Amino acid sequence: MKIIQRYRRAILAPVSIVILLCGCTDLVSSRSPRFAEHPKNDSDFVSVDCERVKPFFESKNITILVDRKQATAEDIAKTTCNGMCCDRDTEEQLRHQARADFHDLIHHHSRSLQGLLATTADALRETVTMLARQSENKTLTLFDQVYRTMAVSSRPSIKALYQAMVDYVSPSNTPDSLQQPLTRDMLQERFIEFFAKLFPIAYHGAVNPRQYEQDFTEKFKTCLYETMEQIQPFGDIPVQVAKSVSKSLEATRVLVQALTLGKTVLDRTDSVLFSGTSPQQEACYAALLRMTYCPRCKGIGPSVRPCSGFCTNVMRGCLTQPASELDLAWSGYVETVERLVVAVDGRNDPLGLNAERAVRQLDTRISDAIMHAMTDGPALEEKVRKVCGRSELEPSPSSERSVADAAGGTGKSSSSSSSSGGIEMHAAAAAPPSRTLPSQLHVQLGNFLASVVRSRTFYGTLADTICEEYPDKRCWNGERVGETRFSEQQRQQRNRTRDTISARTEKNIHCEGHPAEQRIDARDIRTKISRQVREIRYLTVQVG
């Protein structure tokens, strides 16, 4: 008995997912509602009575014959449970019920983990969006107050740049299909385009500060666009900014996509691997019938629950094959996600993956670029003259129309725009204090790590987790009400049951008669996890 107890302690590894989001703590119990503790009733243990279990079967919409005195020993021997209260038709209904219960049980245990992944992914998107909108507001204010002659003309480019950053971590750019419509290279191009459009505006302010109402001719602006890389009016600031922001947002995007894929994989695993009618699954359902409903068919009351050892044996038999196939890939996935979270949330940020830091510095870096061009005004003007000639201005009437077009038809300078409230701010982003969001994000990611680390062995310990609430004494051991203790004959029978399920599983994985679509679905899920593990590791190296 001591050996058995030590063995149970060694194999029972409870997995509890603790979700701590936004300062709230929810402990998600591993106990399934369908298998909740029944009130104790001593009469359930001492006698067989079909009348006693009739209400239980009625709750399942199953009708039983309370008086089966006409049933012969041969009739009873043909049933799985060998009980007086259930005939073969009743057992068939219970087999389907056991199958449904099992699927619900698996989903119950993965649902909290799915919720953790989905909620964290959504929170990351929301935080990046909020940070981007705050930075956008600061940049618009900067132009309105400091670079007033450039404010109206620059506003469309500023808004387009920040919208691209928001789109980069949006659901459409982080699907579980691993597709990426807006790539990192494309995001970098958006930054280069922004500075290219800023060049004529900044150059105009540097060489023609008193003629801000007259725009350059389209021909001259086109020359400035095309030669920006050669002239480098902003030094290497545009390249630095494009690389740093795209690098940090790519790390966040990969993390969000990884979390989204993890949720999808868990959900698909619930519906694919633990459903169907393959021989090994049918053997599993028969074992589940013996564990959960055979006591009722023998007239044993509902307060008698399966013994923990018997439950563990049945669950391991049902889950060994899918768990062994998924456990290694899943643990690798979780481990890599952990490392990426640590990198993205890094306070010292040695790899430059912290999106908060990069986005918060963006308005300052844009200002640095403009100041670089203005400070270097005479030398910059000389470079431009060599490539594009002297600056060409539109006639005054055309300039008014040009400014009006840029201002959305107002025809007013940035000064009048400011005084009339023309600058469009994101009100939702302006409310929180400057340090509130990163503090929330840091706490949230820390809590996510504390929870997700427990899920590394989710599939490997699922059988033990399911059965950890079941009793050791006065319980159903598969043959009678007793303890989690078996005679040698019962132990051999138990092992044969487990081996039969495992053998059928192993055989049907390789045999020709195994349903092809089931093999494909299972492999597809494993491939998706493994593929995401490889992609996350690859991108972690690349962004570093």
The answer to whether position 508 is within a domain reads no
What does the pLDDT read at residue 537? 54
Whether 189 and 306 share a structural domain? yes
Whether 103 and 84 share a structural domain? no
d(CA 82, CA 71): 11
Q: Beta strand pairing status for 17-21 and 481-483? A: unpaired
Give the residue numbers spanning the domain of 375: 94-393+439-484+520-543
Q: Which of 88, 103, 137 is the last residue of a domain?
A: 88
Q: Which of 67, 88, 109 is the last residue of a domain?
A: 88
Which residue from 119, 124, 22 is spatially nearest to 359, judged by alpha carbons? 124
The answer to whether position 426 is within a domain reads no
Whether 446 and 302 share a structural domain? yes
Whether 77 and 210 share a structural domain? no
Give the model confidence (pLDDT) of 19-50 as tens digits: 222 333 332 333 444 443 444 444 444 456 78
The answer to whether position 514 is within a domain reads no
Whether 241 and 278 share a structural domain? yes
d(CA 182, CA 170): 10
Q: Beta strand pairing status for 17-21 and 473-476? A: unpaired
**Local confidence pLDDT in tens for the 544 residues of the chain:** 443 344 344 433 333 322 222 333 332 333 444 443 444 444 444 456 788 888 998 998 888 766 665 666 777 788 888 888 888 899 999 999 998 898 888 888 889 899 999 999 999 999 999 999 999 999 999 999 999 888 999 999 999 999 999 999 999 999 887 788 999 999 999 999 999 999 999 888 777 766 666 788 889 989 999 999 999 999 999 999 999 999 999 999 999 998 998 888 888 777 766 666 778 888 889 999 999 999 999 989 888 999 999 999 999 988 877 777 778 888 888 888 888 888 888 766 777 888 888 999 999 999 999 999 988 888 888 999 999 988 888 876 544 444 444 444 444 444 434 333 444 555 445 444 444 444 566 777 888 988 888 888 888 888 899 998 888 888 999 888 876 554 455 455 445 544 544 444 333 323 332 222 223 344 555 565 565 555 555 544 444 4
The answer to whether position 408 is within a domain reads no
d(CA 385, CA 223): 11
Contact 478, 290 (CB under 8 A): yes
The answer to whether position 399 is within a domain reads no
The answer to whether position 169 is within a domain reads yes
The number of domains in the chain is: 2
Whether 157 and 256 share a structural domain? yes
Taking the CB of residue 301, how many other CB atoms lie within 10 A of it?
A: 22
Q: Which of 69, 88, 107 is the last residue of a domain?
A: 88
Whether 82 and 106 share a structural domain? no
Whether 343 and 316 share a structural domain? yes
Q: What pTM did the predictor assign?
A: 0.71
d(CA 119, CA 17): 14
Whether 243 and 380 share a structural domain? yes
Provide the b/e sequence for 463-487 (b: ≥16 CB within 10 Å).
bbbbbbbbbeebbbbbbebbebebe
Contact 425, 140 (CB under 8 A): yes
The answer to whether position 318 is within a domain reads yes
The answer to whether position 125 is within a domain reads yes
Whether 173 and 234 share a structural domain? yes
Whether 274 and 320 share a structural domain? yes
Whether 74 and 200 share a structural domain? no
